[in-house]
Each structure stands twice: as structure tokens, then as C-alpha cells.
């Protein structure tokens, strides 16, 4: 249940910045205004609380491939691959309240600078699935990843991340990432799952 909470938090965060069109979509499909009102009320009663991003379907696995290539490019310090995967501009909402927004070239430069702090990194993908939001016609990829790294001074560390990537026209243009420090038992289980 805990890995789902960051996803719910992310969706609420996103929905605050977007105008909802679900009411218009329901109204435009109705035959009469009274029917539209009934449809909206029925739709709202599906959940006990208002949900702004509620109509989802499975997305394209091509989007998942794009995101997984980004993890690989990070681990391999591959600048060219990063450039090829990012949109012209990108926003990254990172843990601890850090936000990066820049054009592709500047973002790649910042990513390479950040990556240079590590001797090695390993992103072990636990789960990855593409989703499409019908309400806003947006494509996302949700990834649960166990990230392990070694700093240049050879100190090792690891965290569990819940990453939500937005894909537009086949390119990454947004990332929201949340982190969790697993318990010792959790770390052992993650190491078993990832065979490391």
C-alpha cells in the first residue's frame, strides 16, 4: 500500500496545476442538459472524494521503453542517449523540494554534473507500467525503482523511488520522483528481488 501513496500524492499535485475537462467531456456526450447533470452526479459518486485524474487506461509500452532507456543512460553516463530521450524542455520535481526546469541542453548538462558525483549507479526496476489519462489526454509511465549507488569516495547508499514520467510526442517532458528509505528487512527483500 505504501508505494501507492506517492502516486496518489503526485496525481493530486498535478491536478492542482491543470484545468479539469472531465465535466465538459461528460456534458458534451450527453443528449440533454438534464442528462448531463445526471451523468456528472453519477460519475462523482464513483468515489467518496473528488478525483481530478480518475479515468485511466493502459498506455503504450513504447513510452515505458523510452523511460527505461533514460535509466540506462543515467547508469552509463550516456549524454547522447539522454539528449535523444528528452523533449525540448523538461521539468523535474525531485525529492526534498528540489525543482529543475530547463531546455534539453541545459538539463542534460545538469544531469551529467549530478551524475559525476557517483562512481557508479544501478537502477533496479521493480515495476514499470504505462498509463494514459483520458480526462487530460496525457501519457505517463509509473516506475518503482530500487536505486543503488557508490559515491566517488566509495561510500555506498540506496533508496527506493516512485517515479512518474510524463511523455509527450515520444519524449520525456516531466518527472515527479518520490523517495523512501526502506527498512533493513525491506532492503534485504529488495536485494533478493533484484538478485544483488
pLDDT of residue 193: 83
Tell me the torsion sign for CA atoms 162, 78, 122, 159: negative
Contact indicator for 187, 158 with CB cutoff of 8 Å: yes
Contact indicator for 83, 69 with CB cutoff of 8 Å: no
Spatial separation of the C-alpha atoms in residues 79 and 158, rounded to whole Å: 23
Q: Which of 87, 123, 127 is nearest to 6 (CA)?
A: 127
Q: Residue 14, Cβ neighbours under 10 Å: how many?
A: 20
Q: Grid coordinates representing 193?
A: 528481488
The three-state secondary structure class of 117 is coil
pLDDT of residue 46: 76
Diameter of the chain by CA atoms? 68
pTM, 2 dp:
0.75
pLDDT in tens, the chain (196 residues): 444 444 444 444 444 444 444 443 433 344 444 444 444 455 556 789 998 899 999 999 999 999 999 999 999 999 999 999 999 999 999 998 999 999 999 999 999 999 999 999 999 999 999 999 999 999 999 999 999 999 999 999 999 999 999 999 999 999 999 999 988 888 888 888 887 5
pLDDT of residue 84: 96
Query: Cell numbers 523540494 label which residue?
Result: 97
Contact indicator for 167, 81 with CB cutoff of 8 Å: no
Query: Cell numbers 515495476 label which residue?
Result: 127
The residues with which 89 forms a beta bridge, in sequence order, are: 103
Instruction: Characterize the bridge pairing of strands 171-180 and 86-94.
Output: parallel
Residue 129: burial class (beta carbons within 10 Å; 0-12, 13-18, 19+): middle
Contact indicator for 180, 9 with CB cutoff of 8 Å: no
Spatial separation of the C-alpha atoms in residues 34 and 72, rounded to whole Å: 53
Amino acid at each position: 500500500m505504501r508505494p501507492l501513496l506517492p502516486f496518489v500524492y503526485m496525481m493530486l499535485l498535478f491536478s492542482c496545476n491543470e484545468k479539469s475537462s472531465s465535466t465538459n467531456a461528460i456534458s458534451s456526450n450527453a443528449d440533454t442538459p438534464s442528462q448531463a447533470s445526471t451523468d456528472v452526479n453519477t460519475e462523482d459518486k464513483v468515489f467518496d472524494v473528488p478525483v481530478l485524474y480518475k479515468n485511466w487506461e493502459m498506455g503504450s509500452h513504447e513510452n515505458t521503453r523510452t523511460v527505461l532507456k533514460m535509466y540506462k543512460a543515467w547508469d552509463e553516463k550516456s549524454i547522447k542517449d539522454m539528449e535523444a530521450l528528452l523533449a525540448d524542455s523538461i521539468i523535474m520535481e525531485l525529492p526534498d523540494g528540489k525543482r529543475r526546469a530547463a531546455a534539453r541542453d541545459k538539463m542534460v548538462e545538469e544531469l551529467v554534473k549530478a551524475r559525476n558525483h557517483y562512481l557508479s549507479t544501478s537502477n533496479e526496476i521493480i515495476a514499470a507500467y504505462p498509463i494514459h489519462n483520458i480526462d487530460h489526454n496525457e501519457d505517463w509511465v509509473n516506475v518503482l525503482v530500487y536505486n543503488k549507488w557508490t559515491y566517488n569516495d566509495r561510500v555506498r547508499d540506496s533508496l527506493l523511488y516512485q517515479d512518474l514520467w510524463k511523455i509527450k510526442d515520444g519524449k520525456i517532458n516531466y518527472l515527479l520522483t518520490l523517495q523512501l528509505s526502506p527498512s533493513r528487512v525491506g532492503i534485504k527483500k529488495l536485494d533478493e528481488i533484484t538478485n544483488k
